Structure 1
Amino acid sequence: MNVQAAALEILKGAERPLHAKEIAERIMAAGLWHSEGKTPDATVSARLYSDIKRNGDKSPFIKVGPQTFALRDSTSVSSGAAPVPATIQKAPEPNSGFSFTDCAQKVLEEFGGKKPMHYKEITKKALQKSWLVTGGKTPEATMYAQVITEIKRQQKRGERPRFVQHGRGYVGLSRWMGQGLAFQIEQHNHQIRRTLRERLLDMKPGEFEELISQLLAEMGFEMVEVTKLSGDGGIDVRGTLVVGDVVRIKMAVQVKKWRIKNNIQAPVVQQVRGSLGAHEQGLIITTSDFSSGAVKEAAQSDKTPIALMNGEQLVMLLMEHGIGVHRSTPDLFEIDEEYTAGGE
């Protein structure tokens, strides 16, 4: 029995989310699978994550937290009991395992009434509705931190943020603001993203590869080197991704300056994988997109992983790091209702 099948059996019996370490322990205790490696929990986590990435909504698993997994549809878990007619008893809604920010959006939509809510109240409602599954001790702080982080990240990328800060821990949905200034800014930035993507297609191959090397350096890569001109089917850029000055991953990058809708196919992924050096992982960056076959091939759990970056992601990262664009930010002031509201 492979890891995925064994994990499926364990999660069916548990009827709740489990950490990869606990899944691995239960699998091996039940004799469903045996690992000769020193980190079976890492193997379980990687296999389940790959299954989710490869199969999407068709995967039986969902990731509900760091290395924590559950069944996508807990109603499919057989309990051995006779079914209860829906007219007599409604089955409880399964934990859906939404992210903190998705939970915030759902709470604001259902309970906000188009008015801001405090992050503590948002977290409380998300937990009560079982939308939020977390083992952390400070879910309120995590909720607020993730909402603020998303706002800042989307602003850096020139996107209209999903949320808006209203001060003193209150947040709302940006779409409640209608088609005012925020909407106009988003429309402008949307056009900039389109224009930037078109400009990338007009660049010469060598210029495009130099641009990619600059982006990789901004993203934390070291020893970035353009290896050869485009068009030869080989690796175009090599570098080492450094995380926290602790983790160092050698990456071989192939760039594809292809027209939109001319999607990368699976053979390109196979070609990159075959060109990797010792201890290297692969990355394909394109101005277009990837076919479903290419995505599936890149996520093969028994092969060296190949990361994929499509044109939309590329443009977002270029804007986030200020490459090919410059930021023009006016100073906007808003009334702080807490200080200016009259007494009752």
Structure 2
Amino acid sequence: MSQNLTYLEIAYKILSEEPKLKEVHYRDLANKAFDLGLIESDDLIIAGNIASAINANIRKSKSQGTEPKFISFGKGLYGLSEHEPKGIFADIRNKNQNVKKQLLEALHAMHPSKFEELIGEVLRNLGFENVQITGKTGDGGIDVTGELIVAGLIKNNVSVQVKRWRNNVQRASISELRGSLRPHQIGLFITTSDFSRQSAEEAENPFKAPISLMNGNELVDLLCEFGVGIILEKVTIFDIDKNEINFDFPEPTETAEKGIEIFANYKNHKHFAIYFSPTKIVYENEVYNSPSGAGMKVQNGLPVNGWKFWKFTDAKTGKIHPIERLRKK
């Protein structure tokens, strides 16, 4: 390896120098490292070594009780913990992710005809014209058709097949859709699940009629973008503008009351609070006179030992501990 960097150092270098790269596949990390001259080859073996190094680092950090430097998003995607939102921004992200999961489950529960109508609405929002729902006619497995006009000149006739599946779409389904296409038609396969590697390869075959793919997560993202099935809530957050010339903001003094950010995981959701003292914990802008009181609020009234329920990250060591360590002896 160039510059005597380890695979872990290479991954961190690429992800840290390009903050926009929130989630990157390990093969893309290898490609980027090769372009930068950090590795001599970007073959699958080296890409796998990079992924293995990241996974090992994550496991080691968790076993030591420290926050991992890297985050695994699944399906070979990785990012840096330092790029993840903190505090209230993390709460917003977690809330949105939970809503997306609920929305995906709602899609699975929809009646097939209603689901096809929903897809038609999505296509219209994407700019398709003459959208027709054809599923009931049994037109060769085609459920929706539409026209997508590019630059006002090129008209693409698109035939869409939609499936409310939980299992991944396989190659045979892509081939069946392609077999239903008429001359000069483009295929689009939309599913609430995902696509196997073989089906994706079949869809991308450059020597056959083109097939585009949209999985469940991509569909949910579009629904959220178009405001379909969700309610958009505006959140206003204030911060001080220290560049404002009409104000003279004093610097913080040692006498100012300082709190420690604490957190707790409950039902796959991370809750944040501020610990000031054993009798002052602030959670969701409410002051509680004990950690247990704040913990009960999180658990909807269920009793809890707040000193063990809430955790904090030691600023010096990076290790995570129960807040009972903060108690004054």
The alignment yields a C-alpha RMSD, in angstroms, of 3.4
Secondary structure of residue in 2 paired with 1:324:
coil
The structure whose Rg is larger is 2
Structure number having the greater helix percentage: 1
Unaligned runs of 5+ in 1: 1-85, 94-101, 110-125, 132-172
Pick one of 288, 308, 313 that aligns with 2:193: 288
Distance in 1 between the 2:13 and 2:221 partners?
A: 24
Aligned residues: 187
2:157 counterpart residue number: 250
Corresponding position: 1:181 with 2:91: no
Which amino acid in the other structure matches residue 16 of structure 2?
K
Query: Is contact 2:142–2:160 with CA below 8 Å preserved after alignment?
Result: yes
2:136 counterpart residue number: 229
Distance in 2 between the 1:337 and 1:103 partners?
A: 32
Which amino acid in the other structure matches residue 114 of structure 2?
E
Report the CA distance between 1:232 and its aligned residue.
Answer: 7.7
Corresponding position: 1:299 with 2:207: no
2:179 counterpart residue number: 274
Report the CA distance between 1:92 and its aligned residue.
Answer: 11
Distance in 2 between the 1:174 and 1:334 partners?
A: 24
2:58 counterpart residue number: none
Query: Is contact 1:227–1:238 with CA below 8 Å preserved after alignment?
Result: yes
Corresponding position: 1:327 with 2:232: yes
Structure number having the greater strand percentage: 2
Q: Quick one: percent identity of the two aligned structures?
A: 39
Higher RCO by CA contacts (8 Å cutoff, separation 6 or greater): 1
Query: Is contact 2:140–2:180 with CA below 8 Å preserved after alignment?
Result: no
Pick one of 120, 123, 139 that aligns with 1:213: 120
Secondary structure of residue in 2 paired with 1:263:
coil
Summarize deviations over 1:35-83 as a string: whole Å, max 9, x none.
xxxxxxxxxxxxxxxxxxxxxxxxxxxxxxxxxxxxxxxxxxxxxxxxx
Distance in 2 between the 1:103 and 1:278 partners?
A: 48
Query: Is contact 1:220–1:243 with CA below 8 Å preserved after alignment?
Result: no
Query: Is contact 2:242–2:249 with CA below 8 Å preserved after alignment?
Result: no
Report the CA distance between 1:278 and its aligned residue.
Answer: 2.2
Secondary structure of residue in 2 paired with 1:229:
helix
Which amino acid in the other structure matches residue 268 of structure 1?
S
Query: Is contact 2:163–2:191 with CA below 8 Å preserved after alignment?
Result: yes
Corresponding position: 1:107 with 2:17: yes
Unaligned runs of 5+ in 2: 6-11, 20-31, 38-79, 252-329
Corresponding position: 1:199 with 2:199: no
Distance in 1 between the 2:248 and 2:200 partners?
A: 54
Report the CA distance between 1:322 and its aligned residue.
Answer: 0.9
Secondary structure of residue in 1 paired with 2:136:
coil
